Structure 1
């Protein structure tokens, strides 16, 4: 937003940057501060932050004949005032008493428009009515001052706006001045991490750095270490924090009664925000006869500036403060609570809270079948409906408690309609949170059906409300517990800045296109899973998985056609793969839920919502989703505390039957643990042991085991994962004969080294790295064990042959190398040429002598590329009749060439002619 207002009619004059125009008092290079028009005074708000101070200096460069008056600048002995006092030589600094009685014709306000925050300068404005110029990045403030010149834009810092003017006018800045102005930008943007940061902030800082701004000074003043008193205060803030759900938004409140003034309270508030990953934080601190309020928000639903303006304070939507005199702390807390209730925008409606699709039952369904539905979907109530051609008639609902009691009386054959609750209130998807509470709690309903277009779109349950009302960050997972509750209110935050930082422009544009197309088709759309996880971990991952709330295949076909791409579809699972002309792929899936008919069986799949789609996944770190629709693009959605587990470096399952239903998740847990340097959580480890004890792997298909094990062996360094598999006793799943023998670790380390050597020497030669590690594990095993392993893992013929045949050819070559070195080049070539590269590297890994490794290296780097220039037709020209003799002659000729006896084609022909 660019704001320009002209409350005084006059010549608009020329245009200034940023879509504002020159009126009266455009900055000019004045030289006489006491001209006939009177003084030009520059000021900012009380208790100025670094942005205010930096903006004063920048404005002083634009109004060089001006004087600077900082309200209350000398009252507190804190870092900022020490900083000001050390830089007085840069300002034409005056106290308010110095200009008392003098005519002031112009007041330049920076970083504020609030008359109540101007200290002594407010009296000058009221008494003398000077012309006012305003430079500010706080937009849409109520009861704000108006100015003859206003430059108001929603940048991260006011200093950014003034830097643009200085740069346009070609005004010179010293290194010291550039450093000070840069300091304000860094502070008010949180070193470019706050959601309010704009591209203009980056550009301004970059220009200042090019002028010599000292970032060491900036960082030392902004990122200073906490002293013991501040650490103790943060601990007190954590202990006194209270989380409230206000209109569906989680707001953290801290109330403190302090004996003395604490400087830099805002810094401590910001640190607490980061430490606890809070969305909204209000801190009320009683200090003497004042109550200081500091607010921070990462959510657009909570405008800190607007809320605190009603308490006489101000700021912008993401950060604000207020200072209140002569009012008890309890009264301020009460007023703030009322303001939050009135000002926080509701973000939760039934559409956000409901579980969809609703699991329904026909009225004549037997209670025994209804009980199985509840177990299958892990729910506690069923909606009872009937269908006709155009609508769905809601008849009522039935709970697990009612069904279980009926079953205890041997009434399993009775239909659900005989025992359902038939009087049921409903709501629409747009019903607000408070109304939902009234209908569920007031009407004492177990669940509330959400109706849309004469159909049940979903349900909001009593548990949904409890999760939203009660479960704060501490309660979302009880102490000592790891397993997530079923889907509930998600934590959301914008990550657009991170996406811009980490993703290429091509990927970012692609995601935006996907969002637009899905929106136009009426579908919800998310990028999910490993892509989001690795984005937060700042790891490269271009494997894009898209989930569509709607028809994923229909979306994929439309998007592929628009992009000129191919598509492969899998109707059974509702999935598609879009293949672009350059080979890049995007996986698209319909949001779905799964249930497992028996342990280790493949899941049955049904269409679902994004919440239930994420709930079917393996670990919390893989349950994160980012919205791609234009209205919510870049919003991270976290139902299961995946962000916390990433921060705490923990692998955690979503429910206790996770490994029973899909034992392959055990291998994935190990893979992620080692890849990211995480730790498998205590409860998750117990569930792994329980799955092994129950022998759920017995029914697991060999191909599924092979795929998971192969992925582990394809990791950059699979050795820690292999050893973890041995520690957990999982290698027996493949075969008990694969043991952790004394030489195994050394051989695996050698395998890693030879692969690194191969990557360095033969970067263009593709190999299947996992084979080398797998063969190393099988090294002590005989042919019979190899056959059993191949059958157990259901290996494709190519890999079966490597394990059961070619591996033993390689062992023969190893035996020959052990006893046959040194050897002629021709003999070395004869022994090693039948072996594929993976087998050669395997032999290098298991060999103990350097001579063997050097011989194989010599073959791979020198000998295997040597070929003959002559062919069979050359032998025919020499007069030799075609036949088996051709092969013998060519082989002997090649051997001679390998041994250095032949140099060129003529030598080869002469050698072959000798056979005639």
Structure 2
């Protein structure tokens, strides 16, 4: 081994650091570096793995000259020693010292060197199984003594990073280094206890999730396993479980993707030279070895990450990439704080289609992303021109070294769909390569994989299975026959046919749902007409949307749509529609759980399509959007997210929740028409139990969409729970009186508002006049009546009847919920269950039979009979006739007396 440079004499503060989430190899290497740099401070840039916290931090902390970042003046750092990494983005806030003008950098790393990596005046690099191997050789060369504990820790790093010498990345040098450390007293028993971890029952469950979610793909003749799981908490042993799965299943290459909290993690392992997982995940913002790599991706959904991964797999699993590139210089850049309107002006001024986005650091421009004309125009299209481009720039990009060849340039521009490719030396931006630059050279070059850009579509389409037997168990014979007939008619027209959305989702949730949506790959209206002609149904068509409703003689309806891709003229606008495939049609939908489709044409009947891991999210009980602009394009999806979350007992994913917060912050709801807001609010209020969804609306500050004065507090929640109890009580009565339950809940929501505010709310929601009267004048009258009853109850049943009789059922239920006086609630209940049904048993015919002449007297007698019955004085029909006879006689006597009095006077 060649001699390594000696560290220069200490000329200032020296710190030793490694990558965030430090593993055993990183910790071991820092301990070794501490021996090479006496007096240096060991600083962690971030958290350590769970097992490290248990072992090193608690048991071996005394061996490290540790310092907290917050206690170090980074401007005073004169020497930075990096071990087990050379990437600035992996050392956290310590990357700030890289701009110190007099900084001396020393690097010790075993990872393959990539473009843009940090280089040092002392730079020790060889491709070995562990960085601790390199450090051991340096210590051995310099004859630096090691005690048993030091030798054990350093040897532990080698064991872990080589998988106890089982990884294909293991080299002879790793074995020699371990042998030397054992000779220095390394305790193999301690190492074995830490490395050979027993798998816990909880981990077995997670491992089973990985195995069950695994899907095998053949990509250019090589089998790749992709497993996608979702957890709402961070799983520290994820890489360990992936390694276990590789061993158990004897896999050659696996990419395990996990949504944890608001981030997506990828852990990859490869046992074949044809799959360099380090190169593949480097393109996704991660990195590692050819046999082991990882990536952490923020701000993207699982569907977006999978799409990027599959494109990268199809592009890279084809052999070595070697070619040269062209460069335009100087590059045109824009600061991240520049608005989208200003950036658009730059694009127009220089006649270009993309901009590199930078920020100023230490009087130097640092690349932080890029943004394309297409994205900027769409943002301006949504009237967000004043938003900084930094909010919507692409933060995942690839670059090339100035010496890169054409093939690499071609793969990066075309494969990543990057309109501009930064040409960089370290952090310095030398120029850019545009698509136009590349096209000039492509005339003389052949594209190796022209379908790479569509890789996700082709690979994802294999996520299928036939569920015909499951459908037969869950669906009625009639529904099955209808679906088969629709598939047959579609095939006769040369179309594809699918049943999609909530119907399929509820099939897997074991929930009844006959709200059937059919998507046709072809002309949906033409299909509906052909089906109606054959089966004698009626149809209603909507040409603007390419949809139709099939109506059966018994009133049963099925919605038919043309497979379409929706785009929006502005946030919250109704969609415009274009033809597209079934996958693009599903991708436009609101949440992953609603993206399942079942094929209906005869030879593929019952074939389930799951492009976006909907089954996993159903299993994990998670509500997730498919793309980050979902709520920008249609804010009503926010209400649906809350409704589905509570209806199914699911949880909104952390990224989706963050996107909801952003939509509320940007107030996209103000552009929604009142009718659209009302539709979503009404659907929530019509749920079996809308209270949790209303509370969640309060959590996201969404109630202000109805009116700013409506806020969630204990009193409002208590009232809404009372409404729920009263409606449940009403339902158990099985009365024939119809009740619009949503109106009762809405009256509860606006209970504390005055008349003027209620009118504002009704106008905001664009309610019909009859509803405005109900929520304003009629509710105010009900509140006034309730106040009177709480002050003094009506003295008799008849008085109670006449007090409450003017109010419709919804107002009666609202009053029952709103009162805090048990006696009043009991009185209203008595009215609703007993008194309101009481009517006289006799009518006009019986009064005529008594010799009475029709006229106002009839109404007076019948009202008197009703009052007497309400107060329990009359029981039978004969009692009512006798009462009427007496009442008429008394009335006649009174009239005669009045006549006599007048004559006497």
TM-score normalised per structure 1: 0.51
Output one character per residue of 1:802-861: Cα deviation in whole Å (capped at 9) or x when no partner: 101221222133123213336322111111222221111111111112222222222222
Output aligned runs, 1:233-382, within 5 Å.
Answer: 245-246=217-218, 283=249
Matched, 1:760 2:732: yes
- Mapped to 2, the partners of 1:400 and 1:253 lie a distance apart of 25
Partner of 1:800: 772
Paired residue for 2:864, among 858, 883, 892? 892
Given the superposition, is the C-alpha separation of residues 781 and 793 from structure 1 closer, same or farther in structure 2, using an over 3 Å criterion? same
- Mapped to 2, the partners of 1:566 and 1:232 lie a distance apart of 55
Paired residue for 2:628, among 644, 651, 656? 656
Partner of 1:707: 679
Output one character per residue of 1:785-814: Cα deviation in whole Å (capped at 9) or x when no partner: 111111000112232221012212221331
Using the TM superposition, give the Cα deviation of residue 872 of structure 1 relative to its aligned residue in structure 2, in angstroms: 4.2
Partner of 1:463: 453
Output one character per residue of 1:62-107: Cα deviation in whole Å (capped at 9) or x when no partner: xxxxxxxxxxxxxxxxxxxxxxxxxxxxxxxxxxxxxxxxxxxxxx
Given the superposition, is the C-alpha separation of residues 821 and 668 from structure 1 closer, same or farther in structure 2, using an over 3 Å criterion? same
Using the TM superposition, give the Cα deviation of residue 724 of structure 1 relative to its aligned residue in structure 2, in angstroms: 0.7
Q: Secondary structure at the match of 2:774?
A: helix
- Mapped to 1, the partners of 2:568 and 2:697 lie a distance apart of 25
Partner of 2:784: 812
- Mapped to 2, the partners of 1:795 and 1:236 lie a distance apart of 52
- Mapped to 1, the partners of 2:743 and 2:209 lie a distance apart of 55
TM-score normalised per structure 2: 0.51
Partner of 1:845: 817
Conserved? CA contact 2:522–2:562, under 8 Å: yes
**More divergent stretch after superposition (822-831 vs 628-637):** 822-831
Conserved? CA contact 1:376–1:595, under 8 Å: no
Conserved? CA contact 1:666–1:688, under 8 Å: yes
Output aligned runs, 1:500-519, within 5 Å.
Answer: 500-519=472-491
Given the superposition, is the C-alpha separation of residues 774 and 512 from structure 1 closer, same or farther in structure 2, using an over 3 Å criterion? same
Q: Secondary structure at the match of 1:573?
A: coil
- Mapped to 2, the partners of 1:816 and 1:650 lie a distance apart of 48
Output one character per residue of 1:632-671: Cα deviation in whole Å (capped at 9) or x when no partner: 1111111112122112221111111111111111111111
Using the TM superposition, give the Cα deviation of residue 463 of structure 1 relative to its aligned residue in structure 2, in angstroms: 2.2
- Mapped to 2, the partners of 1:841 and 1:441 lie a distance apart of 77
Between Structure 1 and Structure 2, how many residues are aligned? 517
Partner of 1:680: 652
Q: Secondary structure at the match of 2:834?
A: helix
- Mapped to 1, the partners of 2:662 and 2:375 lie a distance apart of 26
**Mind listing any 5+ residue stretches in structure 2 that lack a counterpart?**
1-197, 227-240, 253-309, 311-350, 354-371, 382-413, 423-434, 893-905
Using the TM superposition, give the Cα deviation of residue 564 of structure 1 relative to its aligned residue in structure 2, in angstroms: 2.6
Matched, 1:443 2:484: no
Given the superposition, is the C-alpha separation of residues 250 and 812 from structure 1 closer, same or farther in structure 2, using an over 3 Å criterion? farther
Paired residue for 1:605, among 548, 571, 577? 577
Using the TM superposition, give the Cα deviation of residue 735 of structure 1 relative to its aligned residue in structure 2, in angstroms: 0.6
- Mapped to 1, the partners of 2:418 and 2:522 lie a distance apart of 33
Given the superposition, is the C-alpha separation of residues 250 and 403 from structure 1 closer, same or farther in structure 2, using an over 3 Å criterion? closer
- Mapped to 1, the partners of 2:565 and 2:557 lie a distance apart of 24
Conserved? CA contact 1:243–1:251, under 8 Å: no
Using the TM superposition, give the Cα deviation of residue 566 of structure 1 relative to its aligned residue in structure 2, in angstroms: 2.3
Q: Secondary structure at the match of 1:869?
A: coil
Partner of 1:550: 522
- Mapped to 1, the partners of 2:437 and 2:733 lie a distance apart of 75
Paired residue for 1:773, among 745, 751, 756? 745
Output one character per residue of 1:198-256: Cα deviation in whole Å (capped at 9) or x when no partner: xxxxxxxxxxxxxxxxxxxxxxxxxxxx99799889969979999763278995679xx
Conserved? CA contact 2:636–2:677, under 8 Å: yes
Partner of 1:59: none
- Mapped to 1, the partners of 2:773 and 2:717 lie a distance apart of 26
Q: Secondary structure at the match of 1:864?
A: helix
- Mapped to 2, the partners of 1:625 and 1:679 lie a distance apart of 23
Partner of 1:499: 471
Conserved? CA contact 2:218–2:224, under 8 Å: no
Given the superposition, is the C-alpha separation of residues 549 and 244 from structure 1 closer, same or farther in structure 2, using an over 3 Å criterion? closer
Using the TM superposition, give the Cα deviation of residue 711 of structure 1 relative to its aligned residue in structure 2, in angstroms: 0.9
Q: Secondary structure at the match of 1:844?
A: helix
- Mapped to 2, the partners of 1:825 and 1:541 lie a distance apart of 45
Output aligned runs, 1:389-788, within 5 Å.
Answer: 442-443=446-447, 461-465=451-455, 489=461, 491-762=463-734, 764-788=736-760
Q: Secondary structure at the match of 1:870?
A: coil
Conserved? CA contact 1:367–1:403, under 8 Å: no
**Mind listing any 5+ residue stretches in structure 1 that lack a counterpart?**
1-225, 255-274, 287-347, 349-365, 379-396, 406-416, 426-439, 448-460, 470-487
Given the superposition, is the C-alpha separation of residues 243 and 404 from structure 1 closer, same or farther in structure 2, using an over 3 Å criterion? closer
Using the TM superposition, give the Cα deviation of residue 730 of structure 1 relative to its aligned residue in structure 2, in angstroms: 0.5
Partner of 2:134: none
Conserved? CA contact 2:838–2:870, under 8 Å: yes
Conserved? CA contact 2:551–2:558, under 8 Å: yes
Q: Secondary structure at the match of 1:526?
A: strand
- Mapped to 1, the partners of 2:201 and 2:869 lie a distance apart of 82
Given the superposition, is the C-alpha separation of residues 844 and 235 from structure 1 closer, same or farther in structure 2, using an over 3 Å criterion? closer
**More divergent stretch after superposition (845-854 vs 527-536):** 845-854
- Mapped to 2, the partners of 1:285 and 1:680 lie a distance apart of 33
Using the TM superposition, give the Cα deviation of residue 690 of structure 1 relative to its aligned residue in structure 2, in angstroms: 0.9
Using the TM superposition, give the Cα deviation of residue 622 of structure 1 relative to its aligned residue in structure 2, in angstroms: 0.7
Structure 1 vs Structure 2 CA RMSD: 4.4
Output one character per residue of 1:577-605: Cα deviation in whole Å (capped at 9) or x when no partner: 22222222111111111111111111111
Conserved? CA contact 2:415–2:453, under 8 Å: no
- Mapped to 1, the partners of 2:696 and 2:204 lie a distance apart of 41
Using the TM superposition, give the Cα deviation of residue 282 of structure 1 relative to its aligned residue in structure 2, in angstroms: 9.9
- Mapped to 1, the partners of 2:871 and 2:209 lie a distance apart of 81
Conserved? CA contact 1:245–1:468, under 8 Å: no
Q: Secondary structure at the match of 2:714?
A: coil
- Mapped to 2, the partners of 1:810 and 1:233 lie a distance apart of 56
Given the superposition, is the C-alpha separation of residues 524 and 419 from structure 1 closer, same or farther in structure 2, using an over 3 Å criterion? farther
Q: Secondary structure at the match of 2:506?
A: helix
Conserved? CA contact 1:897–1:903, under 8 Å: yes
Partner of 2:879: 907
Given the superposition, is the C-alpha separation of residues 907 and 444 from structure 1 closer, same or farther in structure 2, using an over 3 Å criterion? same
Given the superposition, is the C-alpha separation of residues 242 and 898 from structure 1 closer, same or farther in structure 2, using an over 3 Å criterion? closer
- Mapped to 2, the partners of 1:730 and 1:859 lie a distance apart of 37
- Mapped to 2, the partners of 1:230 and 1:441 lie a distance apart of 53
Given the superposition, is the C-alpha separation of residues 572 and 904 from structure 1 closer, same or farther in structure 2, using an over 3 Å criterion? same
Given the superposition, is the C-alpha separation of residues 908 and 441 from structure 1 closer, same or farther in structure 2, using an over 3 Å criterion? farther
Paired residue for 2:827, among 833, 838, 855? 855
Partner of 2:838: 866
Given the superposition, is the C-alpha separation of residues 675 and 250 from structure 1 closer, same or farther in structure 2, using an over 3 Å criterion? farther
- Mapped to 1, the partners of 2:213 and 2:578 lie a distance apart of 42
Given the superposition, is the C-alpha separation of residues 591 and 232 from structure 1 closer, same or farther in structure 2, using an over 3 Å criterion? closer
Given the superposition, is the C-alpha separation of residues 904 and 248 from structure 1 closer, same or farther in structure 2, using an over 3 Å criterion? farther
Conserved? CA contact 2:461–2:609, under 8 Å: no
Q: Secondary structure at the match of 1:510?
A: helix
- Mapped to 2, the partners of 1:792 and 1:647 lie a distance apart of 39
